[in-house]
Amino acid sequence: MNNTNPPRKQTGRLMTPVRLGVVAVAACFLAAPALSNPVNPTVVNGTASFNQVGNVLTVTNSNGAIIHWDKFSIAAGEKTHFQQSSASSSVLNRVLSDPTAIYGTLSSNGRVWLINPAGIMVGAGGRVDTAAFVASTLNIRNEDFLAGRHLFINDGTAKDVINQGEIRTPAGGSVYLIGANVKNESVAGEANSGIITTPGGETILAAGATVSLIDSALPGIKVDITGATGNATNLGTITAEAGRIGIAGVIVKNSGTLNASSVVNEGGRIFLKASQDAYVDGNGRIVTTGTKGGQVEVLGNRVAVMDKASIDASGTTGGGTIKVGGDYQGKNPEIQNANIHLVRTGGEPEGGRHGSRRWRHGDRVGGRHDAGLRQHQRTRRRQWW
């Protein structure tokens, strides 16, 4: 077994705001050579065979296979499929040069890992349909992948991960997007753009210098992040029916829809976790309704829920729990408490069915709303955004 990691390009460290970073990465994709299916594979662990027929590349791999590719992109109208032994089988694809741009289809009956520090984009019109999908510009060691340890490290070259297409898994699947910055965004005029769907499963957007995904006693994973920079942003639609959705980074923002609701079961769990700023703007919707409402956490050093934002954890038999800026009275040492908790006013809480609470224009709906913080501001004027 060969555990040798590939060489890295030496490039300048990203120091610009996330918007400029996304533009820079998009420019890299445009400057790349003409797209095709992935080329020049080298198998460094396990076994894999490759069959190109027309515009379809089929890779048949053993569980735990590790493949190095010179380039890994998929053009519109092209398809790359990984045929694996089962839905629990995994293949790690490590890209040695050029950003990855997926405008065609990437599919598998198993779990597909894609590691490319130069950048990863699922473009508008692109589709990923796998049992599970990990896309990271942070590196993971071969031995950690094989041992099931989810530890990702930025060696100084990592760029951004962007989804403007559609990523789907079957029931119980997972999608992890990990990078220096991570963004899920819809593109105006494009159908099925900025969509991630993991019914009964889990979606995580995580940005930082190191990202560790740790199994915990609770359903789902615990996300630990280090680093001074790392923006994780949702401007699209992420759905995990009765599942789990997480956005973690130095700065996190939701300006789209996060939905973990269920018609027949308890609502799922949604968390925004920032080492600095956690922000739900006026277009942001967080929904985890069900027979009983689910759980919502918006945590950071500074937390803002802006006018017209919506957080809904209501249930037909009982409301769920919403934690904004901390736990009840800030007394839970396991839950991060904010130094500043800013909410733009637009109405006061009012009682709802089954113990739910509603806050119009900053709508909170749940069995209990908890806040733990040192400074609580309600204002119509932005203080730090």
What is the enclosing helix (H) or strand (E) of 182?
Answer: strand 182-185
**Residue 75: pLDDT band with limits 50, 70, 90:** very high
As given in the structure block, the two tokens for residue 186 are 């819809």
Residues 295, 246 share a domain: no
Task: Give the pLDDT of residue 306.
Answer: 84
pLDDT at 119 over 80: yes
Question: Which of 218-232, 252-266, 307-321, 348-362: highest mean pLDDT?
Answer: 252-266
Q: Domain check: are 232 and 299 in the same one?
A: no
Shared domain check, 210 and 61: yes
Spell out the residues 6+ positions from residue 263 whose beta carbon is closer than 8 angstroms to its own.
Answer: 290
Which CATH number fits the domain that encloses residue 150?
Answer: 2.160.20.10
**pLDDT over 70, % of the chain:** 74
| Average pLDDT, integer, range 39-61 | 98
Task: Check residue 214 and give its pLDDT.
Answer: 87
Q: Is residue 326 part of a domain?
A: yes
Q: What number is the average pLDDT over the span 231-250?
A: 97
Q: Please check whether residues 97 and 242 belong to one and the same domain.
A: yes
Residue that is last in its domain, among 259, 283, 315: 259
| Tens digit of each residue's pLDDT (9 = 90 or more) over 270-318 | 999 999 999 999 899 999 999 999 999 999 988 888 878 889 998 888 8
- pLDDT at residue 52 in the model: 96
CA dist., res. 298 & res. 277, Å (int): 10
69 lies in a domain? Answer: yes
* Residue 374 domain-assigned (yes or no): no
Specify the amino acid at residue 328.
Y
pLDDT at residue 48 is higher than 70: yes
Do 223 and 269 lie in one domain? The reply is no
Q: Is residue 381 part of a domain?
A: no
Single-letter code of the amino acid located at 254: N
Torsion of CA 44, 46, 52, 53, to 10 degrees: -170
Radius of gyration of the chain (CA): 21
In a domain, 355, yes or no: no
Tell me which amino acid residue 4 is: T
Specify the pTM: 0.83
Question: Structurally, how many domains does the chain consist of?
Answer: 2
Q: Would 154 be classed as within a structural domain?
A: yes
Closest CA to 254 of 235, 239, 241, 228: 235
Contact 115, 158 (CB under 8 A): no
CA distances for 40 relative to 36, 74, 93, 121, angstroms? 12, 14, 12, 20
**Given 214, 241, 259, which residue is the final one in a domain?**
259
Residue 11 covered by a domain: no
Amino acid residing at 282: G
In terms of domains, do 312 and 334 share one?
A: yes
pLDDT score of 134 = 98
Do residues 72 and 166 share a domain?
Answer: yes
| Range(s) of the domain holding residue 169 | 39-259
Residue 338 in 3-state DSSP? Answer: strand
182 lies in the same domain as 224: yes
Residues 278, 143 share a domain: no
Residue 375 CB-half CA count within 13 A: 11
pLDDT classification of 5: cutoffs 50, 70, 90: very low
Q: Are strands 210-215 and 221-226 parallel, antiparallel or unpaired?
A: antiparallel
Is the pLDDT confidence value at 354 over 70? no
In a domain, 15, yes or no: no
Mark which of 236, 259, 282 sits at the end of a domain. 259
Say if residue 304 is in the same domain as residue 236. no
d(CA 5, CA 68): 9
Of 267, 263, 270, 264, give the one whose Cα is nearest residue 248: 270
**Residue 334: band (very low, low, confident or very high) from pLDDT cuts 50, 70, 90:** low
Q: Check whether residue 198 and residue 64 sit in a common domain.
A: yes
Helix locations, the chain, DSSP H: 18-31, 142-147
Sign of the CA dihedral running 73, 194, 139, 221 = negative
306 shares a domain with 167? no
- Asked whether 307 and 280 are in contact (CB, 8 A), the reply is no
| Range list of β-strands (E), 54-153 | 56-61, 65-71, 79-83, 90-95, 100-102, 105-108, 111-115, 120-122, 127-129, 132-136, 150-153
pLDDT at 216: 58
Residue 260 or 364, more confident? 260
pLDDT at site 325: 61
Res 282: pLDDT: 87
